[in-house]
Amino acid sequence: MIDSASELTRLFRILSDATRLRVLRLLWREELTVNELSEITQLAQPRISNHLKILREENLIVERRSGSLRPYRVDHKGLDPAASALWPSLEEAWRDDPQFAADDKRLTKVLAARVSDVGAGYFDQLARRWDDIRNDLFGDALGREVLRAFVPPNLTIADVGTGTGYMLHLFAGRFEKFIAIDNSEAMLAVAREKAKAAVLRNVEFRLADVETAPPLKPREANIITIVQVLHHLHDPAVVIANLANGLQRNGSLIISDFVEHDQQWLRTEFHHRWSGFTKKQITAWAKAAQLSLASWSVLPGRAYTPTPGNKVLIPDCFTAVLTHQS
Ligand SMILES: C[S@@+](CC[C@H](N)C(=O)[O-])C[C@H]1O[C@@H](n2cnc3c(N)ncnc32)[C@H](O)[C@@H]1O
């Protein structure tokens, strides 16, 4: 246990030197390098370094490595709570001290110069590293937020064959209501856990087989998505017609699946019934459901090596937007 009384005595002994006190006071405010401290106090660097050494040995400050720089700051975590509590009253007592006021003025200048120094060439230096930095900072969360902003609010979205909740994760926060439909209780359980962790309260989970009965009431949803599901169905045409009934008049049914391909591994590995679909097929099924193809875009396929030496192709994926015929 820390003996606060002797800690305070120790602190006052260390601060009995006027320069050391100035240095510690500055480091209490900001993380600073020897150069910066020297500029602020207008004292030679070796003198500053000596005091930093003592403050570090007394565990009052810590040093950080930042490229070629070694900034110092007060070790707030390691500090005795009594010393921390005492500091604001000391600051109050020093309020009118002319030397401290001059230090503070120069500190402001040093901090301002720090920002403008990096100005012009700053982003040039970052260009090659920026993707890694933004990924470390945000992953793809910021991009998802921006994408979500494209979606008008007050709408109901239904995701058919929702699986573990990929679409839910992307969109639930933005829509008024999200209906997550799947015929696998295990998949829904994972999706539920994720929704709970993300504190999403506008999600209705529906255990339903879309091939057995329409999973939505007539005109229940403004948008229906069915992503990587169609190739598992016996009769996609019937399901598209059922989903069309669940769509509001000005709604969209968005299908994302593989373009027709010859990749047998998808049948053997992932039990696909269909080796993708043609634009013609989707257009015909849409027409039979009194929908029309409003847009068709393709995400190009790519080579994939599931196990060493086993190279296969992930086929092109299409996204088709179907809307009611006018
Ligand atoms: C390949 S996963 C895709 C999951 C999710 N859409 C995604 O992109 O991550 C296919 C999902 O469709 C569901 N599914 C397959 N047939 C279905 C049916 N007849 N009715 C409802 N869900 C079905 C499966 O349980 C599974 O969760």
Residues 115 and 159 in one domain: no
In tens, the pLDDT along 50-106 reads: 999 999 998 899 998 877 788 999 988 888 887 788 888 888 888 889 999 999 999
Range of the domain at 318: 138-324
CB atoms within 10 A of CB 30: 18
Residues 317 and 189 in one domain: yes
CATH number of the domain encompassing residue 235: 3.40.50.150
Find the 23 Cα to ligand 1 centroid distance in Å.
Answer: 64
Residues 107 and 146 in one domain: no
**Any domain includes 133:** no
**Any domain includes 93:** yes
Confidence bin at 312 (pLDDT 50/70/90): very high
Residues 118 and 187 in one domain: no
Nearest to 272 by CA among 250, 292, 257, 251: 257
In tens, the pLDDT along 112-155 reads: 887 766 565 677 777 888 898 888 888 888 887 888 788 787 89
User: What is the reported pLDDT for 77?
Assistant: 81
Residues 88 and 192 in one domain: no
| Contact between 110 and 27 (Cβ < 8 Å) | no
Residues 99 and 142 in one domain: no
Q: State the sign of the Cα–Cα–Cα–Cα dihedral 207, 209, 210, 212.
A: negative
**Any domain includes 132:** no
Q: Is 182 in the pocket of ligand 1 (CB under 6 A)?
A: yes
| Residue 101 CA from chain centroid, whole number | 42
Residue minimizing CA distance to atom 24 of ligand 1: 161
Residues 79 and 175 in one domain: no
Q: How many domains does the chain have?
A: 2
Least-confidence region, from 12-26, 120-134, 225-239, 307-321:
120-134
Find the 209 Cα to ligand 1 centroid distance in Å.
Answer: 10
Q: How far apart are CA 320 and CA 298, in angstroms?
A: 9
CATH number of the domain encompassing residue 53: 1.10.10.10
- Pick the atom of ligand 1 nearest to 210's CA: 20
In tens, the pLDDT along 202-250 reads: 999 999 999 999 999 999 999 999 999 999 999 999 999 999 999 999 9
Q: Which residue has the higher pLDDT, 257 or 126?
A: 257
Residues 158 and 292 in one domain: yes
User: What is the reported pLDDT for 100?
Assistant: 94
**Any domain includes 274:** yes
Q: Is 166 in the pocket of ligand 1 (CB under 6 A)?
A: yes
Encode burial over 40-68: b for 16+ CB neighbours within 10 A, e otherwise: bbeeeeeebeebbeebeeeebbbeeeeee
| Contact between 286 and 276 (Cβ < 8 Å) | no
Q: Can you tell me which residue has the tokens 């169905």? A: 233
Please give the structure tokens belonging to residue 12.
């006052």
User: What is the reported pLDDT for 140?
Assistant: 82
Last residue of a domain, one of 69, 101, 127: 127
Find the 287 Cα to ligand 1 centroid distance in Å.
Answer: 24
Find the 187 Cα to ligand 1 centroid distance in Å.
Answer: 8
pTM: 0.65
Residues 114 and 173 in one domain: no
Last residue of a domain, one of 81, 99, 127: 127
Residue minimizing CA distance to atom 27 of ligand 1: 163
Last residue of a domain, one of 107, 127, 147: 127
271 contact partners, CB below 8 Å, separation of at least 6: 232
